[in-house]
Amino acid sequence: MKEYDQVGSKYRKTRSPDIGVADVLSLIEQFGRKVSVLDLGCGNGFPIAVAAHRHASHYVGIDSSEILAEEFTSNVLGAEILIVSMDEVDLSGRKFDFVFGFGSVFHLPPERQRKALRKAADVVELGGVLMFTSSKDDGYCTGNVAGVTIPHWSLGEDGYVELLESCGLSYKGWKMASGENCMFIFNKKSANKSSKPGAEKRAVF
């Protein structure tokens, strides 16, 4: 997004070296093996992709900022990078065990966010997990990164659950992660194990 092109190389200086790392790794480690990972809004890869890549059989990052994507290739050696907005990406039937967006999906306006999440849901492998951060309440606000105003939109918990259950995912609940980020967690179960839509919404872990 154009705002992060404005932030550019200043992003690493403003980004916490810890926020999100343990939260993402805890979900990957539950698989008990190396997994294929799709990172929505990977930025320059610091710090999450740098840590998570070690646990991946294959790691794909998506980011629309050419400046941050160029840094990603240097920071996360051996990973694949797609320079495109997450709502416009074409993954051509590829599947991933773990799809996540930490601090990224909510930068898209509501309709583009819905489109991106539908695409994300479509590439989650059976038995796989989708996680992303956003606010539990719907609405709009702004943040500031290195002096650049960054937009934040949320569909709210009910909006996310309705959207992703319609895409065949099961809602596992939410967790308040580091940096006061609310993580929404969904999985894709096989047909004979899927839970009914509208299951009780709850915090996990």
Q: What is the DSSP string of 12-39?
A: HHHS-SSTTHHHHHHHHHTTSS-EEEEE
**pLDDT value of residue 7:** 62
**pLDDT value of residue 11:** 67
Q: Is residue 204 part of a domain?
A: no
Of the CA atoms within 13 Å of residue 34, those in its CB half-sphere come to 8
Answer yes or no: is pLDDT of 66 > 70. yes
Percent of the chain with pLDDT over 70: 86
Q: Is residue 120 part of a domain?
A: yes
Ranking 3-12, 57-66, 146-155 by mean pLDDT, the lowest is 3-12
Residue among 167, 106, 101 at smallest CA distance from 137: 106
Whether the Cβ atoms of residue 28 and residue 98 lie closer than 8 Å to each other: yes
Q: Is residue 151 part of a domain?
A: yes
CATH number at residue 104: 3.40.50.150
> If pLDDT is split at 50, 70 and 90, which confidence band does 196 have?
very low
**pLDDT value of residue 9:** 65
Residue among 125, 131, 164, 165 at smallest CA distance from 33: 125
Q: What is the arithmetic mean of pLDDT over 28-50?
A: 97
DSSP structural state of residue 87 = T
* Parallel, antiparallel or unpaired: strands 148-154 and 139-145: antiparallel
Answer yes or no: is pLDDT of 198 > 50. no
**pLDDT value of residue 10:** 66
> Length of the chain in residues, anyone?
205
> If pLDDT is split at 50, 70 and 90, which confidence band does 197 have?
very low
Q: Is residue 202 part of a domain?
A: no
Cα–Cα distance measured from residue 156 to residue 26, given in angstroms and rounded to the nearest whole number: 24
Counted domains in the chain = 1
Q: How confident is the prediction for the chain on average, in pLDDT? A: 90
Contact residues for 100 (Cβ-Cβ < 8 A; gap 6+): 24, 27, 37, 38, 39, 40, 129, 130, 131, 132
> If pLDDT is split at 50, 70 and 90, which confidence band does 194 have?
very low
Q: Is residue 122 part of a domain?
A: yes
The parent domain of residue 108 ranges over 2-193
Q: Is residue 135 part of a domain?
A: yes
Per-residue pLDDT reduced to its tens digit, 84-141: 999 999 998 899 999 999 999 999 999 999 999 999 999 999 999 999 999 999 999 9
> If pLDDT is split at 50, 70 and 90, which confidence band does 199 have?
very low
| Residue bearing tokens 């306006």 | 109
Per-residue pLDDT reduced to its tens digit, 163-187: 999 999 999 999 999 999 999 999 9
Whether the Cβ atoms of residue 31 and residue 56 lie closer than 8 Å to each other: no
**pLDDT value of residue 193:** 46
